[in-house]
Structure 1
Amino acid sequence: MSTLAAMIAADYGTIGDILRERARETPERLAVVMETGEAVTYAQFDALADRVAAALQRDGIQPGEAVAVCALSSIPYAALFLGALRAGVAVAPIAPSSTPGAIAGMVADCGARLFFLDAGVAEAQKPAPVPARQIALDGSAVGEAFDAWLAPEGATPAPVEIGPKHPFNIIYSSGTTGTPKGIVQSHGMRWKHIFVGDTIGYAHAPVSLLSTPLYSNTTLVCFFPTLAGGGTVVLMKKFDVVRYLELAQTHRVTHTMLVPVQYRRLMEHPDFDRYDLSSTRMKFCTSAPFSAELKGEVLRRWRGGLVEYFGMTEGGGTCILMAHEHPDKLHTVGRPAPGHDIRLIDEDGREVGPGVVGEIVGRSASMMNGYHGRADKTAEATWTSPEGLSFIRTGDVGRFDEDGFLTLMDRKKDMIISGGFNIYPSDLEAVLATHPAVVEAAVVGVPSDAWGETPVAFVAARGQADPEAIRAFVNDKVGKTQRLAEVRFVDALPRSHIGKVLKRELRETWQKSPTT
């Protein structure tokens, strides 16, 4: 057995070691390619990661500490991530779309003494100075130039012992419902993620096109397995339909990760079917609700398998839907992944059976260490089973069918209680989606004197649509307690950087001009 094969077969290892061995076995293979054509081989990428690790050690950054990074995807960003891991330093990737105060708060929360950024982020965060030494990944004047900060060419870091519980990264929650919480993921958790990929083609030199950002867990669950499998990652700074299709065709892409809104935009593009995507082996989706209709269209028109993941950045349980193998289950998010224990509980924390709606809780080998510095929030997110096992509470509501497939209803906080009845917005959104004038829709609960709460739909429509006609269309098809009180038109639904609909913003929009 080769050294690399033995490493992959082990119960635990590090991505930094895997990358080094890949560089020895296939030094000239491309590791990371930017949409602009800039690229690095495995040998170059490995050497760059070493220079990062050596520079961190030179600056006194200790194993277990964190560095923060807030920038668009780039080769320096990727090298920083791998180099920090090699030095035993956790990475705290921050979304550039965060507010200036939130960026400063997250850098302070993770205790980073070094903050890596680019010019765009520096411009955005000027009103709230970050309490850390700034290094410009793009070489701009917003900090020390990354190339100058790096250790000299040929530098190698001192060896560091990295255990399974050692922090790998700190990913901050979106903050759409309050102050972002730092989710600490371990090296052991990431190792478990990587080699699940063998069953879906990552082990055979994949070419993965990633248009979602490197600061998102959505991207990382594809990025690291691709490199561990000796493949090539093609990175886009921002998603654009035509550019995506051009890159997929040119690079003969085999794997990709997209969020549902990106799949929808691709399917809607009039030239989609003209591009040669025959090299595609597997497509992935996560992060937001993925309609059965859209899954079906992707399967019909785009070669290769389609896999949907349902889970949380915090870890716990994950469900996997191999959509190409179960075309009759497209309305679900699949079954629990091997070794994952997913259960449903009621309001009193008691388990419920198949067919009964409950909050989804999960347990697996892939669980966060906890929220950084927030033991109270970690405890709130934990459910203890009757046999004394710890599960992560997802805050999502769903039910299992008789075949063990999970149907996702809604976020628990988004459930509407109207006149004592539970209303699931997803039920109403599914009906709205069948109206020919509806492009996309989201339903939220708003205050009602008569019912406590009542559902209101926000709709992006095509043509000369009539909101009252759409409301009547839906109300004719749902139960009396589910009827929409109002339909409001919007140009587009507000979304996070990974495509999640920001329902809090919709509620705030309604509160500014409530129905009279």
Structure 2
Amino acid sequence: MPVSDLLTRSCLERGHHPAVIDAEGTLSYLDLGAAVDRTVGWLRSQGITAGERVVYAGGNDRVFLALFYATLRIGAVFVPVHPELTEGQVGHIVEDCDATLAICSPADLARCRQEIQWTSADGFTAEVPDDSIAVLIYTSGTTGRPKGVVCPHRQMAAAVEAINSCLRYRADDVVLCRVPLSFDYGLYQALLCALTGSTLVLAERGQDMGLLKLIERHGVTVVPLLPALAQILTLLQRKRQRPTAVRLFTNTGARPGRAIMSELLELFPGSAFASMYGMTECKRISILDPDAYADHPDSVGMPIAGDLIRIVDGGNRELGPHEVGEIVVSGETVMAGYWGIPLEAQKRFVRRDDGSLELHTGDQGYLDEDGRLYFVGRDDDMIKRRGVRLGLTEIEDAAERIPGVSAAVALRPEPEDGPLDLVVRSELPVEEIRAQLVQRLDPARRPDRIVPVDAIPLTSNGKPDRGAVKRLLDPPAHADHATTLPFAQTRTTHGPVAV
């Protein structure tokens, strides 16, 4: 099924129900459908045809959604770009995907918005094969130049259905999307709302201090989280203590600390938490049922419907329960590889005997005896210390379980046998954090030093930015003044800040 059919169905069945709320107001499903029709007309006036790539660097608003659905309706390929990327980064994406139309500069965005407003509606809909490409989503490029993940209609539709079978969004839900729509976590909120006929509330980063009022005003029931957003909502609700209609928090990517989530659920009575694991190359891989969170708070859940997870060692030998290895996934939501790169050159995607693709995530984890997945760390986050192979996220998780530690980032030692620094956002004395970590971590996992900071820098998608965290530290933080004392205390307050 073409992904754009999700919206078409809700327009027919939920026409007068609010579809999207943004800074300009509210659009019903019929209103949004009309906006898509006008945008189809505008794209066709620009000469866009099936298969051509349309790059868009807009923010969280109705124009993004109209252009997304309209591009898919005519069979073209939508390429969302985060509006905060540099000109060079955007230029690479435009060139790499051989875009026919790129709407990226402020002038382009303003012209597009203005022209669409005065374009006549065009109800044209192309015959879109399920295996045709719907979206190219470019990865962050932390390990090299960004690569475009090829997302066909079939896999995207399967992912939306499978995710909702676990999360159970409802027609009366109001979903707050503070996550960028250019990030697949945000984009799929729009698709989940279209699937269920629910309401999407769009917010930008500049509205963070007013998020709680936004939640109250619109009766928000579902909040997709990133760590920074969890911290913001905790701080705001701690002060206001106002009742809300929030029933579900979700999270993927970097996970909020255990202490933050515990306090957040307490501050929003009646809410539950669904921890999820996935990556752009497969969208979603596993989801922990909210009812299981209390008993299995460290798990990221069971494989979603249609997917199979196995854990393998370096020789691709399948491992047993509780054995840590690479997470490998196959099934209906595995995307179609990277744009413009021959399959034999793609280490992540491997062709199976039946012709389907298997995704080697590069992430480390294990399955328990019941098939629940536990994420240990990215390959880039794995280190060997004192003869023990461990994940930096294990250290971060232990620190974030300490009440009073709202965020923690463990930095890879450089050189390999150098000191391991743990950067924390906390008002607790370093000695207290050290004492608690001694009880929680074995010697190999104990950091040499703790560095308190006032804020953890974030990427444009709201995840902790390890590179920026490392740059926050002054040279004295790596000098010899702390080499003989584990958990030496240093506080830095300069550099980029987040929450």
Which deviations, in whole Å up to 9, do the C-alpha atoms of 1:321-350 show, x marking residues without a partner? 112344100111111112210111112221
Counterpart among 9, 32, 35 of residue 48 in structure 1: 35
Instruction: Report the equivalent of 1:346.
Output: 313
Instruction: Report the equivalent of 2:304.
Output: 337
Task: Give the alignment's Cα RMSD to 1 decimal.
Answer: 2.7
Unaligned runs of 5+ in 1: 1-12, 123-134
Counterpart among 201, 217, 225 of residue 258 in structure 1: 225
Counterpart among 431, 444, 447 of residue 484 in structure 1: 447
Hey, what's the Cα distance between the residues in 2 that align with 1:444 and 1:400?
Answer: 26
2:230–2:264: 8 Å Cα contact kept in structure 1?
yes
Instruction: Report the equivalent of 1:462.
Output: 427
Pairwise mapping of residues 107-506 of structure 1 onto structure 2 (< 5 A)? 107-117=94-104, 119=106, 135-136=108-109, 139=110, 144-149=111-116, 152-157=119-124, 159-196=125-162, 197=164, 200-238=167-205, 240-271=207-238, 274-278=241-245, 280-302=246-268, 303-315=270-282, 318-375=285-342, 379-383=346-350, 390-435=357-402, 438-448=405-415, 452-462=417-427, 465-466=429-430, 470-471=433-434, 474-475=437-438, 477-506=440-469
Q: Which amino acid aligns with 1:22?
A: S
2:250–2:276: 8 Å Cα contact kept in structure 1?
yes
Instruction: Report the equivalent of 1:23.
Output: 11
Hey, what's the Cα distance between the residues in 1 that align with 2:19 and 2:440?
Answer: 52
Instruction: Report the equivalent of 1:101.
Output: 88
Instruction: Report the equivalent of 1:127.
Output: none
Hey, what's the Cα distance between the residues in 1 that align with 2:368 and 2:441?
Answer: 22
1:55–1:150: 8 Å Cα contact kept in structure 2?
no
Give yes or no for the alignment of 1:33 onto 2:21: yes
Instruction: Report the equivalent of 2:495.
Output: none
2:325–2:366: 8 Å Cα contact kept in structure 1?
yes
Hey, what's the Cα distance between the residues in 2 that align with 1:254 and 1:335?
Answer: 24
Counterpart among 64, 72, 82 of residue 77 in structure 1: 64
Instruction: Report the equivalent of 1:65.
Output: 52
Q: Which amino acid aligns with 1:501?
A: P
3-state SS of 2:59 partner: coil
Hey, what's the Cα distance between the residues in 1 that align with 2:77 and 2:463?
Answer: 26
1:22–1:42: 8 Å Cα contact kept in structure 2?
yes
User: How far 1:473 sits from its partner (Å)?
Assistant: 5.2
Counterpart among 70, 73, 88 of residue 75 in structure 2: 88
Hey, what's the Cα distance between the residues in 2 that align with 1:434 and 1:288?
Answer: 15
Hey, what's the Cα distance between the residues in 1 that align with 2:286 and 2:93?
Answer: 30
1:416–1:453: 8 Å Cα contact kept in structure 2?
no
Task: Compute the TM-score of the two structures, normalised by the length of structure 1.
Answer: 0.84
Which deviations, in whole Å up to 9, do the C-alpha atoms of 1:150-204 show, x marking residues without a partner? 67333332x3111111111111111233211111111111211233325644352
Unaligned runs of 5+ in 2: 481-499
Q: Which amino acid aligns with 1:20?
A: T
Instruction: Report the equivalent of 2:484.
Output: none
1:429–1:441: 8 Å Cα contact kept in structure 2?
yes
3-state SS of 2:140 partner: coil
- After superposition, the Cα gap between the structure-2 partners of 1:27 and 1:383, relative to the gap in structure 1 and judged at 3 Å, is closer
Hey, what's the Cα distance between the residues in 2 that align with 1:95 and 1:214?
Answer: 8
3-state SS of 2:255 partner: coil
Equivalent pairs, count: 477
438-447 or 405-414, larger mean C-alpha shift: 438-447
2:135–2:150: 8 Å Cα contact kept in structure 1?
yes
- After superposition, the Cα gap between the structure-2 partners of 1:298 and 1:502, relative to the gap in structure 1 and judged at 3 Å, is same
Q: Which amino acid aligns with 2:342?
A: A
342-351 or 479-488, larger mean C-alpha shift: 479-488
- After superposition, the Cα gap between the structure-2 partners of 1:282 and 1:431, relative to the gap in structure 1 and judged at 3 Å, is closer
User: How far 1:470 sits from its partner (Å)?
Assistant: 4.3
1:384–1:390: 8 Å Cα contact kept in structure 2?
yes
Hey, what's the Cα distance between the residues in 2 that align with 1:402 and 1:256?
Answer: 31
3-state SS of 2:412 partner: strand
User: How far 1:76 sits from its partner (Å)?
Assistant: 1.1
Hey, what's the Cα distance between the residues in 2 that align with 1:234 and 1:283?
Answer: 15
1:55–1:151: 8 Å Cα contact kept in structure 2?
no
Which deviations, in whole Å up to 9, do the C-alpha atoms of 1:402-447 show, x marking residues without a partner? 2222221111111111243213222322332355563321112222
3-state SS of 2:288 partner: strand
1:205–1:226: 8 Å Cα contact kept in structure 2?
no
Q: Which amino acid aligns with 1:297?
A: E
3-state SS of 1:446 partner: coil
User: How far 1:374 sits from its partner (Å)?
Assistant: 1.9
Task: Compute the TM-score of the two structures, normalised by the length of structure 2.
Answer: 0.87
107-116 or 352-361, larger mean C-alpha shift: 107-116
